[in-house]
């Protein structure tokens, strides 16, 4: 039975919003507490879900104040970057998938960062022993793309100003918000003086419930609003662009460049001034009547499509959810997909990606034949999709190591929103690893992402470092269409595991009939049996991980097949969120992962 109740959302600040944004009853749909740890949230007007309650609140309040999903997602992500500064922020990169109800069309926004003009393989060979710094120093960074993503969202589809959508983040940054005891405690991060000044003033160690203020970031965001107001006489579009340009071409860009040059970084003013995020056509495949869309360039997202095409040839439902057969063939399909990821995916402005072949159902059928149902593969086996589009083979090496300890996971975040018109957005913002480069840029209040450590220093690879190039990121999300209308937006932090997480959420729903909350909470599996994205791109052959909620009988069956099995704690292999659009009932349901302290809200 469905129940109506009040979802209490509390916040320790006064959001600067119109009077319409008052507290009111939210509707929660609960299918039974014995089935999910937290309830499925339902509504008919709009929904927001994210990795942090305050971010969800900011987005939902923007919708309640009359904004649309594009306004809400900017407001929510601005707060998300403030309250989860280790995982995302305005120094970060991002991938987005959006559906515009007015246009009846889906788009990909590529807000991945670019390498500085001075960043070359030769420079690292001469100055850094032929190695990329991992998760540390400005040498690991790329130009931030989040601000430009905000601009594209507001200028093309939004209705509000930067002043309106940034009001919640500015209020929180100035007024403060409670933090946990382990907040910003990384010794590597605090070793940088500017980071310690902001996050550990006087050597402070944070206790549960302490109030943290980031007035430096508030001043940076206010500078965007000031630029917008100064250009307001020229119209909304000019005002939005003035705010965007102050970050990339104005005094903020000059301060970032000056700090970089004084602190050993390769960024110069021109790197910021010439940057642009891009609006692109998504790539997609049809899985049992559902069109699954992904970001096409500088993203690992299409690898999920490769895996789904392979899995479509198996009767997954008959195998049973999380059976040994199901997990085995799923992991083997992912290994094949990720091998193709490493050989073929990258910045499509710089390399050719043979998508016609990679997404061919005939190619998937050929790849499917490589799966031995009784034995786990320990090899990296890229295919030859060029044959399936009648094009010459691409002679392209792969950068892989079986030594080192490159991490397949990372620090990323996620937020999604859907409004009454059924505009839908999946937004995956990131710094890649905790606080990115670990260096707060002077008094600007934020650090840059460290996505540069994803590049390969092996010439000729799909992801080889070059000036101005975007690294192939693990960032991705999912937009699923059904009968030409949006059905699902979902995503998850998790580095290389992101595709595996969104794929499992989707299959849990489509193959096994789960609602979005059940699909998110279901026990999970993962594998690292392919090259890690960060340097030195370590692969762990035959690696397989399962949460301990997967039965011992299944685990024993996987070991017999030759998987090197790791049993992880019962709630450790997912951090997802998502929103389902039910076109028949004209209703929404939103889910959030209890593993992450995520929060969904709907009205």
pLDDT at 411: 81
Is 153 within the bounds of a domain?
yes
Contact 173, 213 (CB under 8 A): yes
> What is the rounded (10 degree) CA torsion for 137, 473, 416, 10?
-20
H or E element: which one contains 108? strand 105-111
Question: For position 170, which CATH number holds?
Answer: 3.60.20.40
Residues 6+ apart with CB under 8 A from 434: 86, 87, 135, 186, 189, 411
User: Measured over all CA atoms, what is the biggest interatomic distance in the chain, rounded to whole angstroms?
Assistant: 71
State whether 54 and 195 are in the same domain: yes
Share of the chain above pLDDT 70, in %: 94
pLDDT at 139: 97
State whether 255 and 166 are in the same domain: yes
State whether 543 and 434 are in the same domain: no
**pLDDT tens digit string along 85-112?**
999 999 999 999 999 999 999 999 999 9
State whether 493 and 541 are in the same domain: no
3-state helix, strand and coil shares in percent for the chain, rounded to the nearest 5: 35, 20, 45
Q: In the chain, how many domains are there?
A: 2
State whether 579 and 562 are in the same domain: no
State whether 396 and 421 are in the same domain: no
Closest CA to 279 of 44, 110, 502: 110
**pLDDT tens digit string along 260-272?**
999 999 999 999 9
State whether 367 and 469 are in the same domain: no
**Mean pLDDT computed over 58-81:** 98
State whether 543 and 452 are in the same domain: no
- Residue 493 Rama label (left phi>0; alpha psi -120 to 50; beta): beta
Stated pTM of the model: 0.94
| Three-state DSSP class for residue 179 | strand
Using CA atoms, how far residue 516 sits from 288, 526, 532, 576, 589, in Å, is 18, 20, 29, 10, 7
State whether 229 and 148 are in the same domain: yes
Is 295 within the bounds of a domain?
no
State whether 392 and 413 are in the same domain: no
Terminal C-alpha separation, the chain: 19
State whether 109 and 224 are in the same domain: yes
**pLDDT band at 43, cuts 50/70/90?**
very high
Whether the predicted pLDDT of 26 surpasses 60: no
Whether the predicted pLDDT of 409 surpasses 90: no
Closest CA to 76 of 427, 411, 410, 422: 427
**Mean pLDDT computed over 281-290:** 98
Is 16 within the bounds of a domain?
no
CA distance 428 to 96: 6
Is 367 within the bounds of a domain?
yes
Q: Which domain holds residue 229?
A: 28-280+407-521+572-602
The order of strands in the sheet holding 543-547 is: 525-526, 543-547, 564-568
pLDDT at 17: 34
Is 10 within the bounds of a domain?
no
CA distance 558 to 300: 26
**pLDDT tens digit string along 504-548?**
999 999 999 999 999 999 999 999 999 999 999 999 999 999 999
Using CA atoms, how far residue 73 sits from 87, 97, 295, 334, 423, in Å, is 17, 12, 18, 31, 11
What secondary structure does DSSP assign to 322-339, as a single string? T-HHHHHHHHHHHHHHHH
pLDDT at 42: 98
Question: For position 400, which CATH number holds?
Answer: 1.10.246.130
State whether 556 and 468 are in the same domain: no
CA distance 466 to 74: 31
**pLDDT band at 293, cuts 50/70/90?**
very high
Contact 575, 51 (CB under 8 A): yes
Is 158 within the bounds of a domain?
yes
Is 319 within the bounds of a domain?
yes
Is 58 within the bounds of a domain?
yes
């Amino acid at each position: 039975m469905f129940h109506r109740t009040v979802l209490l959302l509390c916040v320790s600040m006064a959001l600067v919003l119109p009077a319409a944004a008052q507290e009111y009853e939210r509707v929660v749909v609960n299918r039974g507490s014995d089935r999910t740890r937290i309830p499925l949230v339902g509504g008919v007007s709009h929904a927001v879900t994210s990795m942090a309650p305050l971010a969800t609140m900011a987005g939902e309040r923007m919708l309640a104040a009359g904004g649309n999903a594009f306004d809400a997602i900017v407001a929510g992500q601005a707060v998300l970057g403030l309250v989860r500064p280790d995982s995302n922020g305005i120094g970060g990169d991002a991938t987005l998938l959006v559906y515009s109800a007015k246009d009846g069309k889906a788009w990909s926004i590529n807000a991945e960062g670019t390498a500085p003009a001075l960043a070359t393989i030769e420079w690292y060979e001469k100055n850094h022993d032929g190695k990329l710094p991992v998760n540390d120093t400005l040498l690991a960074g790329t130009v931030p793309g989040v601000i430009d993503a905000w601009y594209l969202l507001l200028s093309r589809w939004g209705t509000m100003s930067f002043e309106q959508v940034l009001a919640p983040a500015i209020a929180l940054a100035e007024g403060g918000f409670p933090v946990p005891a382990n907040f910003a405690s990384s010794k590597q991060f605090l070793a940088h003086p500017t980071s310690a000044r902001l996050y550990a003033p006087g050597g402070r160690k944070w206790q549960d419930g302490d109030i943290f203020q980031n007035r430096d970031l508030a001043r940076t965001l206010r500078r965007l609003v000031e630029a917008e107001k100064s250009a307001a006489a020229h119209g909304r579009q000019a005002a939005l662009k003035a705010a965007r340009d102050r970050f990339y071409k104005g005094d903020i860009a000059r301060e970032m460049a000056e700090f970089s040059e004084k602190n050993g970084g390769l960024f110069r003013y021109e790197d910021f001034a010439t940057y642009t995020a891009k609006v692109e056509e998504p790539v997609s495949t049809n899985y049992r009547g559902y069109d699954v869309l992904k970001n096409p360039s500088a993203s690992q997202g299409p690898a999920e499509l490769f895996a789904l095409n392979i899995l479509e040839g198996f009767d997954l439902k008959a195998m049973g959810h999380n059976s040994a057969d199901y997990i085995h063939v799923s992991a083997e399909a992912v290994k094949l997909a990720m091998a193709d990821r490493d050989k073929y995916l990258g910045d499509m402005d710089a390399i050719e990606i043979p998508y016609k072949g990679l997404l061919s159902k005939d190619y998937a059928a050929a790849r499917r034949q490589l799966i031995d149902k009784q034995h786990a593969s320990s090899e990296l086996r890229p295919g030859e999709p060029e044959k399936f589009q009648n094009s010459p083979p691409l002679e392209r090496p792969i950068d892989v190591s079986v030594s080192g300890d490159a991490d397949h996971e990372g620090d990323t975040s996620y937020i999604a929103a859907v409004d009454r018109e059924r505009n839908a957005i999946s937004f995956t913002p990131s710094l890649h690893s905790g606080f990115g480069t670990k260096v707060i840029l002077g008094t600007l209040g934020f650090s840059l992402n460290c996505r540069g450590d994803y590049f390969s220093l092996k010439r000729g690879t799909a992801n080889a470092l070059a000036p101005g190039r975007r690294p192939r990121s693990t960032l991705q999300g999912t937009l699923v269409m059904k009968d030409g209308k949006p059905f699902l937006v979902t995503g998850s932090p998790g580095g290389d595991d992101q595709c595996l997480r969104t794929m499992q959420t989707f299959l849990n729903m489509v193959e096994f009939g789960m609602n979005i909350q059940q699909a998110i909470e279901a026990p999970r599996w993962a594998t690292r049996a392919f090259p890690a994205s960060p340097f030195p791109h370590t692969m762990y052959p035959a690696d397989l991980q399962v949460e301990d909620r997967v039965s011992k009988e299944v685990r024993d069956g996987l070991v017999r097949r030759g998987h090197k099995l790791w049993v992880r704690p019962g709630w450790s292999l997912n951090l997802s969120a998502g929103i389902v659009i039910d076109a028949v009932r004209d209703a929404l349901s939103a889910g959030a992962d209890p593993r992450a302290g995520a929060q969904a809200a709907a009205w």
